[in-house]
């Protein structure tokens, strides 16, 4: 490498030999050109991909070379305890190093080899490895975070074209104070995790560190977030006068909960309140039993999961002073039997006169399961309800005509 050579040629046959040609000279290359990591680059992968140019000047590096030597260290004298030398065998133009330390500045140089000689070292370059991973979600200072929030951070294994997978373990710590007095730790090979220890309305602090086979990173900067405190009520709007004695109450759902608990009372202290459990995180309505006319009512909802319950939502109030439905006068002695029922139930009443009525069956969330217009003659009327396809629970049978209706609760078991 780096040697000047002189050469000449003469020809000969059986009878004569020519003079030597004019002398030519050439010089073999001594130094190759590195490409990556770029000089001064930071945030470099923990197993960097070293690359170099395939040519020296206009000449391809396809002959006269049997490999490349890469020298790496934390000092430019290449004599520290972290000094390593790697050999990329053959006519290749990249090399993946073994794992390097986190957050460390490295110096590197390289040279070509052949069976007879070694080339000149390239100029020393430097790069700095990633100090750790970076946190993604939840965001720093984020409020109203779901109780089942998924924590995520950057993946450090970015050498997708390497045959050897990068294996990192990540340790996440979470605590209720920024000094992590009583932290809870989770170790995973993934870059995301969901946990089941969070409490409603609580502020948390969290951080992550990464590790590979030979080193562990520093902790990431700490982030904090606060879990959602309570449910938000939707409708009826606070202070509304309702035209219905059996309103459907609605709230905004929360992710990651088992269900909701509702309370309803005719006083702001919720003395002798009605309580109901609604299972399912996506359930957001409840149809109450028929209420009293000309009453003020108060209601609230809270969410729950297996380990905690949220605070009660700020109570809403409504009144039934302007209810448009009156008790249906066209019928009397309305009854549904058997009650509870399982497969069938009979709706029976006495009609005061020939009339057209609407009979309907709704569930506890206010969803109409069946509705039918019926013609009745004066006297006793019976109608069969098929229940075998219904889920167990509370339902309501309503008989309506214009702005009058009568309601009976039916339990299916």
Sheet order of strands, 274-279 included: 240-241, 316-319, 296-304, 259-265, 274-279
Residues 55 and 91 placed together within one structural domain of the fold: yes
| Residue keyed to tokens 């790697």 | 86
Residues 299 and 283 placed together within one structural domain of the fold: yes
Question: Which residues span the domain enclosing 189?
Answer: 135-227
Residues 252 and 220 placed together within one structural domain of the fold: no
Are 122 and 76 a contacting pair, CB within 8 Å? Answer: no
Residue 267, both tokens: 């006083």
Q: Encode pLDDT of 263-321 as tens digits.
A: 999 999 999 999 999 999 999 999 888 888 788 999 999 999 988 999 999 999 998 86
Q: Looking at residues 92-100, what average pLDDT do you find?
A: 91
- Rounded CA-CA distance 261/147 in Å is 16
Sign of the torsion angle spanned by Cα atoms 316, 317, 320, 321? negative
| Residue keyed to tokens 């013609």 | 375
The conformation of residue 355, written as its DSSP 8-state character, comes to: E
Q: Using alpha carbons, select from 37, 28, 35 the residue that is nearest to residue 3.
A: 28
Q: Of 72, 92, 126, which residue is a domain's last? A: 126
Q: Could you give the C-alpha distances from 118 to 80, 114, 197, 220, in angstroms and in order? A: 23, 6, 61, 43
pLDDT value at 409 more than 80: yes
What is the reported pLDDT for 181?
A: 96
Of 101-110, 257-266, 325-334, minimum mean pLDDT range: 325-334
Residues 343 and 381 placed together within one structural domain of the fold: yes
- Rounded CA-CA distance 139/136 in Å is 7
Q: Of 193, 227, 261, which residue is a domain's last? A: 227
Q: Encode pLDDT of 78-93 as tens digits.
A: 999 999 999 999 888 9
Q: Looking at residues 118-127, what average pLDDT do you find?
A: 93
What is the reported pLDDT for 218?
A: 95
pLDDT value at 113 more than 70: yes
Long-range contacts of 402-406 (CB under 8 A, 24+ apart): 403/324, 403/325, 403/326, 404/325, 404/326, 404/327, 404/328, 404/329, 404/330, 405/325, 405/327, 405/328, 406/327, 406/328, 406/331, 406/334, 406/349
The CATH number of residue 392's host domain is 2.60.40.3080
- Rounded CA-CA distance 61/64 in Å is 8
Residues 106 and 13 placed together within one structural domain of the fold: yes
Sheet order of strands, 331-337 included: 331-337, 344-351, 379-386
What is the reported pLDDT for 351?
A: 86
Q: Using alpha carbons, select from 312, 323, 320, 319 the residue that is nearest to residue 269.
A: 312
The conformation of residue 380, written as its DSSP 8-state character, comes to: E
Residues 119 and 18 placed together within one structural domain of the fold: yes
Q: Encode pLDDT of 124-179 as tens digits.
A: 999 999 999 999 999 999 999 999 999 999 988 755 555 555 678 999 999 999 99
Q: Of 126, 152, 181, which residue is a domain's last? A: 126
Residues 311 and 263 placed together within one structural domain of the fold: yes
* HEC sequence for 34-98: EEECCCCEEEECCCCEEEECCEECCEECCCCCCEEEEEEECCCCCCCCCCEEEEEECCCCEEECC
Residues 270 and 305 placed together within one structural domain of the fold: yes
pTM, two decimals, is 0.72
- Rounded CA-CA distance 207/134 in Å is 9
pLDDT value at 322 more than 70: no
What is the reported pLDDT for 135?
A: 97
For residue 15, the tally of other CB atoms under 10 A from its CB is 5
Residues 122 and 172 placed together within one structural domain of the fold: no
How many independent structural domains does the chain possess? 4
The CATH number of residue 221's host domain is 2.60.40.10
Q: Encode pLDDT of 340-362 as tens digits.
A: 999 999 999 888 888 888 999 98
pLDDT value at 325 more than 60: no
Q: If you average pLDDT over each of 53-62, 141-150, 237-246, which comes out highest?
A: 141-150
- Rounded CA-CA distance 37/47 in Å is 11
């Amino acid at each position: 490498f780096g040697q000047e050579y002189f050469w000449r040629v003469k020809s000969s046959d059986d009878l004569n030999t020519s003079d030597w040609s004019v002398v030519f000279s050439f010089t073999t290359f001594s130094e190759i050109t590195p490409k990556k990591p770029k000089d001064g680059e930071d945030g470099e992968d923990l197993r960097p991909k070293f690359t170099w140019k395939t040519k020296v000047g206009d000449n391809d590096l396809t002959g006269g070379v049997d490999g490349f030597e890469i020298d790496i260290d934390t000092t430019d004298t290449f004599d520290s305890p972290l000094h390593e030398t790697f050999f990329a065998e053959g006519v290749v133009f990249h090399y993946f190093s073994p794992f390097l330390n986190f957050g460390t500045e490295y110096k590197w140089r390289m040279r070509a080899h052949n069976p007879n000689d070694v080339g000149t070292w390239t100029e020393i370059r430097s790069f700095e490895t990633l100090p750790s991973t970076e946190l993604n979600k939840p965001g720093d200072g984020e409020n109203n975070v779901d109780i089942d929030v998924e924590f995520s951070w950057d993946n450090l294994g970015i050498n997708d074209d390497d045959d050897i997978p990068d294996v990192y373990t990540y340790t996440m710590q979470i605590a209720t104070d920024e000094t992590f007095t009583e932290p809870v730790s989770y170790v995973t090979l993934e870059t995301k995790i969901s946990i089941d220890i969070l409490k409603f309305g609580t502020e948390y602090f969290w951080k992550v560190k990464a590790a590979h086979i030979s080193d562990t990173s520093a902790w990431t900067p700490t982030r904090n977030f606060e879990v959602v405190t309570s449910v938000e009520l939707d409708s009826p709007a606070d202070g509304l006068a309702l035209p219905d004695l059996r309103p459907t109450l609605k709230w905004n759902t929360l992710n990651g909960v088992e269900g909701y608990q509702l309370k309803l009372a005719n006083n702001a202290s919720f003395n002798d309140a009605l309580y109901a459990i609604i299972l399912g995180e996506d359930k957001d309505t409840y149809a109450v039993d028929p209420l009293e006319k000309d009453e003020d009512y108060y209601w609230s909802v809270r969410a729950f999961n297996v380990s905690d319950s949220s605070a009660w939502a700020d109570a809403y109030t409504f009144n039934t002073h302007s209810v448009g439905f009156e008790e249906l006068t066209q019928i009397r002695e309305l009854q549904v039997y058997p009650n509870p029922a399982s497969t069938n139930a009979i709706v029976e009443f006495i009609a005061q006169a020939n009339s057209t009525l609407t009979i309907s069956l709704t569930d506890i969330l206010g969803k109409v399961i069946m509705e039918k217009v019926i013609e009745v003659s004066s006297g006793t009327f019976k109608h069969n309800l098929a229940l075998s396809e219904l889920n167990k629970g509370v339902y309501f049978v309503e008989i309506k005509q214009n702005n009058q209706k009568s309601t009976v609760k039916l339990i299916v078991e």
